[in-house]
Chain A
Amino acid sequence: MTTISPAADSTNRSFLRRFFFTTDHKTIGQQYFFLSLAAVLVGAWLSLLMRIHLVWPKAAIPFLGEIKPENYLAQLTMHGTLMVFFVLSTVPQSGFGTFFLPLQLGASNMAFPRLTAAGFWTALTSFLVLMAAFFVPGGASGAGWTQYPPLSALAAAGPGQGLGTDLWLVSIGLFCLSSLMSAVGFLATTTRHRAPGMTWMRMPLTCWSWFVTSILILLAFGILLAAVILLMLDRHAGTSFFIPGGLLVSGKMIDHAGGSPLIWQHLFWFFGHPEVYIAILPAMGVTSHLLSVFARKPVFGYKAMVGATLAIGALGFMVWGHHMFVSGMNPYAGFAFSTLTTAIAVPSAIKTFNWVATLYRGKIRYATPLLFSAGFVSFFITGGLTGPILAQPALDVYLHDTYFVVAHFHLIMAMAGLFAIFSATYFWFPKMFGRMMNETLGKLHFWITLLGAYATFMPMHLLGIAGHPRRYSELTGVQYVAAMAPLQKFVTVAAVVTLAGQAIFLMNLFWSMRKGPEAEANPWECGTLEWTLASPPPAEGFGEREVEVNHGPYEYNIPGTEKDFVMQDSPAS
């Protein structure tokens, strides 16, 4: 790979050099953004198919025909995988992080630019491998995004369990490598490339959350990589780590014996729970940042926010067992996991309180990014409140396999994460593409998405409490479930409307990219360092300029200052 000096003129470079061999973190960040956009479109399309199938099981989809149960399971798996890995863990961290971490720290590039670039290309390869699973005989894997063995370990267990599952495992293995590469770059940049005067406690909260998330990635994704390799060996080398003996598959006794599917569950969730925070911590960072900017007030309790971020990161590694309450675990272990899980409510509550307190008595500017950030807080509360309920083993045993859990994680992880991604997009779009997005369309998009998302996921709580099981493609013969059909229909209609509303966002995005009004350097009057550069920033970043940080990141409405905000690199007063 060729190294391009960051000062090279961007216009003079060929297409290959600008987009393929580039080590410019700004280009790589945009590439991640578009990768996630592709993933979210596929993922949303799959969810649409599933919702339609749940309500009208016999409906013929154009080009696809009727959805068979195995197709439904494959769609379920791929929807989860795409959304968790390629959207929620990719765009807030690798996308916006790669673009803005160096700029917010006052550095001109990432610490290891070529490693960062290699991370993106590995992620893209991983995405293409995953997509290839749709086109192989048997189709994509149907074992869920958690890939529990023995279903995922035996090729004979289902149509998608052959090549489709192999591709899934290869893809996620590559994704682990990609995330690790990216995280090493993030951590080295944060520790070594801060501008003079950018002390730890002057870092924007976005940088703090990217930093803590990178630590989580570093510790969690290695685990998943090793687990995936062990599962591959079980599938192809005849080992038995996860496959118990005495299984009959299609009337044939399998050769494996002595393994335990529980080992996989432990390994997977030891990765899987930190993964939840890998997805949500950057979203929290963005929200803290934006609420302060648009309330024109310093973040309430900056130090507490940093502490809460670290506490959530640390606790995130100790609670994986709460995904396994129904696996027959020792009640004492369940009690310990339950207590630790409930303990996460403390730092989460600190954050929520601080967000609300940041808004309190602020001179709020009701721009689209603020609305989406407020939406994040709203989803974080509604989705979060069901967390302590599910953290009780006694309640979880009843609710675990119902729509209640679907509602919980879609609100707190999917919708909250998505709203943070939207707010970050509307906020940073001028810096990334040099133009402003349309505010009217943005607000319309916000209201449709907010109401649509609540209409989609709130009824699922009721479905869950009434005992509607999740994961099944069709339950038409079951009497008590049939009674819930009108509510399911309502959910589907709400989902279709919400998804249709996203067309407004896409139109706004692509139209503004070409035709939007040109953005000035600091359209939101924000104090962090990326806004000291032109929009979009020049290829060389800060270049020869000597950045010197004299202020905290959130100095808004400080008495005795000329404007209502202080740039971080303004001279010290």
Chain B
Amino acid sequence: MPIIGDRVEIERKPKLGGGGPGKIPHRRGYGGGDDGDHGNSGDFRSREQRMRRYRVGMTLCIISVTSIFVLLTMVYVFRMGKGRFDEDEHRWVRDWIPITLPYFQLWTNSLILLLSSATLELARRSMIKKEEFTAMGIVPPRLKRDLPWLGITVFLGFCFLAGQVLVWNILRAQGAFLASNPSRSLFYILTGTHAVHLVGGLVVLIYAVAGRLLATRLESQRIAVEVTGWYWHYLAFLWFGIFGLVHFAKG
């Protein structure tokens, strides 16, 4: 997507060729025209800085969340192979009972999550467009009414959570409770942890939706949507990882 605002903003600035006054090594984010403002002034570049900062933060969060899920996967595999010592028969028996998954509901949830990923991407694009027009001081032409993609994403997020609750209810109706077997425990823990992380994403998205009411700057809304977008797609990816694990490693 070509960034229109970029060109408009940069032309206002005096050009300092060759990396500024010659003392500053030319590096991405510092060379050129705005050295030394540390993001304090409200010009375009420092807004980009702010966005980059949040992106770095989000990448770090994703790394940390990944470490949690890697650990849970390791426990899953480890626990699957463990067992208990049978006192009567004097031998080790595996106590892992394969889980019966409600596939229809799980696939429906997967579809909902994928769809929400797509709508969030659309929301991000329409938001960028809107911000560019605002930056140029133009009221966006309303040739085509944009759907409230962000609202739809939040709605789909809630649908996914409701779907997960449904999955847990189906399992409970089967008599598969958290404590009944390690395969059940880990299914609940994996999906539950995923749901908790999704709620975190939803909170930020709701903040962005409510931005109009809270009179948040468009820029903050855009950062929230952009950065949560990465997180949201990552959670969708993670969901398929979990789904794959419980499907292929049933034990």
Chain A contact residues, CB within 8 Å of chain B: 107-108, 111-112, 115, 180, 183-184, 187-188, 191-193, 195-197, 199, 218-223, 225-227, 229-230, 233, 237-241, 244-246, 257-260, 263, 266-267, 270, 542, 544, 546-548, 550, 571-572
Distance of A520 from chain B, by nearest CB (Å)? 26
Bitwise, B38-78 to A at CB < 8 A (1) or not (0) is 10100000000100110011001101110110011001001
Distance of A249 from chain B, by nearest CB (Å)? 17
Count class of interface residues, chain B = 35 or more
Chain A residue numbers with a CB within 8 Å of B82 are 258-260, 263
User: Quick check: B85 and A227 within 8 Å, CB to CB?
Assistant: no
CA distance A546 to B182 in the complex (A): 59
Chain A residue numbers with a CB within 8 Å of B64 are 180, 184, 218-219, 221-222
Distance of A217 from chain B, by nearest CB (Å)? 9
B162 on interface, CB distance cutoff 8 Å: no
Q: What's the dominant secondary structure at chain A's contact region?
A: loop
User: Quick check: A184 and B61 within 8 Å, CB to CB?
Assistant: yes
CA distance A238 to B188 in the complex (A): 13
Chain B residue numbers with a CB within 8 Å of A108 are 38, 40
User: Quick check: B182 and A240 within 8 Å, CB to CB?
Assistant: yes
Distance of A252 from chain B, by nearest CB (Å)? 16
Distance of A358 from chain B, by nearest CB (Å)? 27
> Which 3 residue pairs across A and B have the least CB separation, nearest first?
A238-B179, A546-B36, A258-B95
B178 on interface, CB distance cutoff 8 Å: yes
Chain B residue numbers with a CB within 8 Å of A571 are 23
**Quick one: closest B residue to A190, CB to CB?**
B56
**Quick one: closest B residue to A192, CB to CB?**
B53
Residue from the list B23, B75, B179 in contact with A230, Cβ < 8 A: B75
Distance of B201 from chain A, by nearest CB (Å)? 16
Distance of A241 from chain B, by nearest CB (Å)? 6
B83 on interface, CB distance cutoff 8 Å: yes
The total of interchain contacts (Cβ-Cβ below 8 angstroms) comes to: 125
Residue from the list B20, B38, B52, B63 in contact with A219, Cβ < 8 A: B63
Distance of B138 from chain A, by nearest CB (Å)? 30
User: Quick check: B185 and A239 within 8 Å, CB to CB?
Assistant: yes
User: Quick check: A188 and B57 within 8 Å, CB to CB?
Assistant: yes
In the complex with contacts A263-B75, A550-B23, A245-B57 CB distance below 8 A:
no
B35 on interface, CB distance cutoff 8 Å: yes
Distance of B21 from chain A, by nearest CB (Å)? 9
User: Quick check: A223 and B182 within 8 Å, CB to CB?
Assistant: no
User: Quick check: B56 and A192 within 8 Å, CB to CB?
Assistant: yes
CA distance A237 to B192 in the complex (A): 14
User: Quick check: A244 and B178 within 8 Å, CB to CB?
Assistant: no
B200 on interface, CB distance cutoff 8 Å: no
Distance of B56 from chain A, by nearest CB (Å)? 5
User: Quick check: B84 and A257 within 8 Å, CB to CB?
Assistant: yes
CA distance A498 to B123 in the complex (A): 63
Chain A residue numbers with a CB within 8 Å of B182 are 239-241, 258-259
Mind listing 15 A-B residue pairs with CB under 8 Å? A107-B38, A111-B56, A112-B53, A112-B57, A184-B61, A188-B57, A221-B64, A226-B193, A227-B71, A241-B182, A258-B83, A259-B79, A259-B82, A260-B79, A542-B38
Chain B contact residues, CB within 8 Å of chain A: 20, 23-25, 27, 29-30, 35-36, 38, 40, 49, 52-53, 56-57, 60-61, 63-65, 67-68, 71-72, 75, 78-79, 82-85, 87, 95, 178-179, 182, 185, 189, 193
**Quick one: closest A residue to B185, CB to CB?**
A239
CA distance A240 to B87 in the complex (A): 18
**Quick one: closest A residue to B66, CB to CB?**
A222
Distance of B23 from chain A, by nearest CB (Å)? 5
Residue from the list A193, A222, A542 in contact with B68, Cβ < 8 A: A222
CA distance A113 to B35 in the complex (A): 22
Chain A residue numbers with a CB within 8 Å of B71 are 222-223, 226-227, 267, 270
User: Quick check: B68 and A225 within 8 Å, CB to CB?
Assistant: yes
CA distance A88 to B60 in the complex (A): 23
CA distance A572 to B21 in the complex (A): 12
Residue from the list B53, B65, B78, B179 in contact with A188, Cβ < 8 A: B53
**Quick one: closest A residue to B39, CB to CB?**
A193
**Residue with the highest number of chain B CB atoms closer than 10 Å, among A193, A240, A571:** A240
CA distance A91 to B96 in the complex (A): 45
User: Quick check: A263 and B38 within 8 Å, CB to CB?
Assistant: no
User: Quick check: B68 and A223 within 8 Å, CB to CB?
Assistant: yes
CA distance A403 to B71 in the complex (A): 32
Distance of A375 from chain B, by nearest CB (Å)? 35
User: Quick check: A187 and B60 within 8 Å, CB to CB?
Assistant: yes
**Quick one: closest B residue to A550, CB to CB?**
B23
User: Quick check: B61 and A548 within 8 Å, CB to CB?
Assistant: no
User: Quick check: B84 and A245 within 8 Å, CB to CB?
Assistant: yes
Distance of A239 from chain B, by nearest CB (Å)? 4
Chain B residue numbers with a CB within 8 Å of A183 are 60
Distance of A250 from chain B, by nearest CB (Å)? 20
Distance of B58 from chain A, by nearest CB (Å)? 9
